[in-house]
Amino acid sequence: MEKICVIGGNRYFGKLLVKRLRAADHQVTVINRGSTLPPAGVEHLVVDRNDEAALMAALGSCAFDVVVDQVCYTPVQAAVAARAFAGRTRRYVMTSTIEVYDPATAALPAVPPGTPVPEEIVDPAGWLVAMDLPWHDDAYVEAHYAEGKRQAEAVFARAGSFEFASVRSAHVLGGGAQEFTGRLAQYTGRITRGEEITVHAKALPTVFIRYEELADLLLWATRADFTGPVNACSDGPLDVRDLAAVIATQAGREPVYRTVQAGEEASAFSFDRHYAMSNARAKELGFAFSHTADWLPGAIAEALTTEPSPTA
């Protein structure tokens, strides 16, 4: 049994991670602002992680074997956590994102289309951190989501008081009504209603992961001893038309597409730039991924029973 702290952990794959940690007989503590109660048997510290003094007070004399941070979006949040957990844990795992590789959000080394993007393209150890940017402005953080994640990773990588690993997640699907982005339900809704999906003229593939598999990988990351970033994605990249075709088969309707003009925003999962990740490092470290084709039909079936949003 290990003592595991999960920051966040009150929804979607974070909630599932907490359940799986408990099922593995770990002693689990959840830290969040208290909007949702954790399962029975889980210690709950209700505190705003952005308030350093309150976080330190809530932690008291607590110490953990591993911390899993589900909700770190800025270098300021990372710096607060790095100070708060210094000397309290041997390992810190941060949930990051495929968006760190988006060439539209940073000057990154070019990767030829069709070549899966490896972790070293964004090295947190050398990434510039700018703490004086308006990271306390929610609108700024939302608009600079990818850069916030890159800089947060960089702060933890340089903290030096614990082992640090980041899990860069692909686009997460599945869970039906639990799916917090609702994007798959948006696609199933538009296709079943015969509404158009806006796409790029030459949409490039991206990668996905089922929410249950991501929870499994995070559980694995608490037990592993690797450091640095690791990409988390199922085998089998798909472009937006591939995804829509699978949905159409199950929905019994043909997708309706409209090609966007230059500068016009397309539907989610339609990308005009390449940054589909490689999962080779995680495989070499011992994690076995599923293929997207293994679980996507089930995720679509869940979404087909979910009330869709009006846009995709």
Strand partners, 30: 6, 44
What is the separation of C-alpha 177 from the centre of its chain, rounded to a whole number of angstroms?
Answer: 18
Q: Please state the pTM of the whole predicted model.
A: 0.94
- Output the pLDDT for position 14: 81
In tens, the pLDDT along 71-107 reads 999 999 999 999 999 999 999 999 999 999 999 999 9
What single letter denotes the amino acid at residue 239? D
- Output the pLDDT for position 177: 67
- Output the pLDDT for position 112: 87
In tens, the pLDDT along 220-250 reads 999 999 999 999 999 999 999 999 999 999 9
- Contact between 131 and 76 under an 8 Å Cβ cutoff? The reply is yes
- Output the pLDDT for position 21: 94
Ranges under pLDDT 50 in the chain: 308-312
What single letter denotes the amino acid at residue 135? W
- Tell how strand 208-210 and strand 64-69 pair up: unpaired
The structural domains of the chain, ordered by start, are 3-177+207-237+275-290 (3.40.50.720)
- Tell how strand 3-7 and strand 27-32 pair up: parallel
- Contact between 84 and 61 under an 8 Å Cβ cutoff? The reply is no
d(CA 100, CA 223): 25
* Side-chain-side CA neighbours of residue 76 (13 Å): 13
- Contact between 298 and 186 under an 8 Å Cβ cutoff? The reply is no
- Output the pLDDT for position 242: 96
Q: What Å distances lie between residue 276 and 101, 229, 254, CA to CA? A: 8, 15, 26
